[in-house]
Each structure stands twice: as C-alpha cells, then as structure tokens.
Amino acid sequence: MSMKIKKPWGEVRQFTFNQNSTVKLIILKPGQKTSLHRHHLRDELWLILDEGIVVQIGDSIYETNPGDEFVIPAEKLHRITSKTKEARVLEIAFGYSLEEDDHMVEDDYGRVVLEK
C-alpha cells in the first residue's frame, strides 16, 4: 500500500522508497481484459485510476473505484477487466519483472497458456 505524507498544501503518496521496482501504466481497451495469470518472482501493487474496472485476485472479484489499491503477492492469480470504456491502472512491481515471469492460466486472445 502507499504511504501518505501530509503536507500543508495536500499530501504525497509514496509507492516505493529505496527499493528496486518497475512502474507501468496499464491501459485496457473498452470491454477488454488481461489474461488470468500469476508471477512467481514478483509482487505487484495496483492503483486504480479510472471507473469501470473489475479486479480479480485469486477467487475474489472486486468492483473498483478510482483510488482503490490492491496488493497482489507472487503466485496469486490475477486479472484486470475494463467494463465499458478505456481504463487505466498504475502497476508497481517489486522483484523480477520480465515477461518470462508471466504464467497464463486463461487468455481470450489466442496466446499460449502455459499453466492450468
């Protein structure tokens, strides 16, 4: 989760501090979803930026609001779905962050599913 640092003019939301991390902006097309997948070598933090996003972590499904945060530990299945419009999620990954650590279980786009 982020750390909030209060300032006279507002606040700072600190996501990483003196850690190795990868920061990505995930942009989903309207009505699309990522594969259901896991990572063996990294944890992720997601910050929801837009309305209309559904998050799946393990067997739990969350209807989200902008500003919601989710921590996805290594080995946990997860997916993001955009219900109706383009949707953005800020992702901060901690650990080994190469595509070789994406292990798909389900995919709607014909990509090779490596795990069941």
In angstroms, the Cα distances linking 3 to 6, 17, 25, 63, 90 are 10, 10, 19, 23, 15
Residues 82-113 pLDDT 10s: 998 999 999 999 987 777 777 778 788 877 77
Residues 34-44 pLDDT 10s: 989 999 889 99
| Domains parsed from the chain with CATH numbers | 20-106 (2.60.120.10)
